[in-house]
Structure 1
Amino acid sequence: MGKSMSTPAKLTTALAAGLLMFGAAACSSSDDSATPTTTAAVDTETPSPDTEASGTSTPLPPGAAAGAAPTVQLDDRPIDASFEPARCEWGTDDGRPQLEFRAGSDATGGDLDVELVTTDPPILDDFTLEADGTEWEATSENRRDAQITVDGDNYRIISQVTEDDGTRTAKLEAHFTCAGR
């Protein structure tokens, strides 16, 4: 007679078989209709405290998801910065649903911060850009007059901004994607 499998081994085998069957069923659809698919790359490396301090990787807080780098223009000119890492964080502000989008850092040459109250219509709560050694910020009047477009997971914000330490103004436009809400 052969050896009998232990309970943990049986459980592992049954789980693996179930996942294999589920995966095969998901891939063998005979339906020819188009089904939208979202694919996300996941970094499985856990950042260490040393990595966080060096600025090369920042762990995401609870409720945050990694996002793709945005496209950013100042007065219709693309900003030459990587704007990575990018993250989307969903939460609430005064009981209203809010999206916080953060992209870039001082080390990447560009830093974009967007806070958007995701009501209907959406409300711009914060919009700042730091690039080329200059910080730009939307005033409360600028935020009130901002153009906000939400198309599914895609966001487009256009607003006047003012130089932080001066009186110059410019048009700031940012396009970004935040999935998972």
Structure 2
Amino acid sequence: MDKRIEIIQGDITRIPVDAIVNAANSSLLGGGGVDGAIHRAGGKQILEACQAVRAKQGGCNVGDAVITVAGHLPAKYVIHTVGPHWRPGGNNEDALLANCYINCLRLAEDNHINTLSFPNISTGIYRFPKQKAAEIALKTITRSLINHHNIEKIIIVCFEEENYDIYKALEKNHYC
């Protein structure tokens, strides 16, 4: 696995990086899980920035990503991406999830972001199988880093122990 990738268990809202990736919903107005936690910790500046994005383009489609200020978070930016709902496996979910990572990394490169943290995208209320999501995340990030030389560090932040154990097992078995 690329040495620029680190896997930790913790609270993504407390990790100092240039950009925090948010597993958002298409409204961009906050919600539950990591999305709610990021909006609460970052304050009204994030919501106001998301409202401005909505006014300009009407939200964010599944697989796409948008960038806003980070408010009170220990970051400069929040990159919001909308992961797919798992229904089960017949609606291009794998490619849509991979696009989340690809588009976040593209925005990071375009905005001169050197360090960023990713949560587990789509594995909560969207019910994407955790093992499959971790495999897609690691494979997509590793392949994308070949073209993104300015990115110095990516931290995959697992809130739940189960996700952390899955990622660490993949890392140990040299999945990527």
Larger proportion of strand? 1
Q: TM-score, normalised by structure 1?
A: 0.28
Q: TM-score, normalised by structure 2?
A: 0.28
Q: With CA pairs under 8 Å and 6+ residues apart, which has the higher RCO, 1 or 2?
A: 2
Larger proportion of helix? 2
